[in-house]
Amino acid sequence: MLPVQTLLQNLQDHVQEHKAVTYKWFAREYSLPANYAKQLLFRFVEEQGSKIRAVYAVSGRCKTDDDQQQHVVRLVPSAQLEACCGELQEGTVTVHIHRCETGSLPGCWHG
């Protein structure tokens, strides 16, 4: 496995080429465990700050007035992350980074 700094530099190079990087692509490209790829993407997004946009996969049970339970999975931009988590039942919410990208990707959805 490549050193962490090399992986982060490769990630930065790819994103600077205006490409979105999903954790799944990153894991496969560099033969990384998926959870490790997510950790590196999260670290990269934290280090880059507002230069990079993140999209998170959020899952949990919907809050409903009746007795029915519905499990949902949503892709949510970082700006909507807190609101999305608030719509789900406490204790059922899981969040992980799905992808990161520059803010200038044409045709990509941003919230």
Query: pLDDT tens digits, residue range 85-100?
Result: 999 988 999 999 999 9
CA nearest neighbour of 34 among 45, 26, 43? 26
**Would you state the pLDDT for residue 82?**
94
Region 17-45 average pLDDT: 93
pLDDT band at 104 (very low <50, low <70, confident <90, very high): low
In angstroms, rounded to a whole number, what is the distance separating the alpha carbons of residues 49 and 22? 17
pLDDT for residue 16:
87
Does residue 94 sit in helix, strand or coil?
strand
pLDDT tens-digit map of 37-81: 999 999 999 999 888 899 999 999 987 777 778 899 999 998 999
The model's pTM is 0.82
